[in-house]
Amino acid sequence: MKVKQVVEFKFHTAYTGWNALEFSDSADNSVSIRMTDDDYLSLADTLQTKAERIRKERADEAAEAARAIAEKNAEHFNKENEDE
The model's pLDDT over 12-70, given as tens digits with 9 standing for 90+, comes to 999 998 899 999 999 989 999 999 999 999 999 999 999 999 999 999 999 999 999 99
Q: Is residue 62 part of a domain?
A: yes
What residues are paired with 24 via a beta bridge? 13, 30
* Residues of the domain holding 64: 13-83
Q: Is residue 72 part of a domain?
A: yes
Q: Give the number of domains in the chain.
A: 1
Q: Is residue 47 part of a domain?
A: yes
Q: Is residue 67 part of a domain?
A: yes
Q: Is residue 48 part of a domain?
A: yes
Compute the distance between CA of residue 33 and CA of residue 38 in angstroms, rounded to an integer: 14
pTM score of the predicted model: 0.69
Q: Count of alpha carbons within 13 Å of 27, Cβ hemisphere only? A: 5
Q: Is residue 4 part of a domain?
A: no
Q: Is residue 18 part of a domain?
A: yes
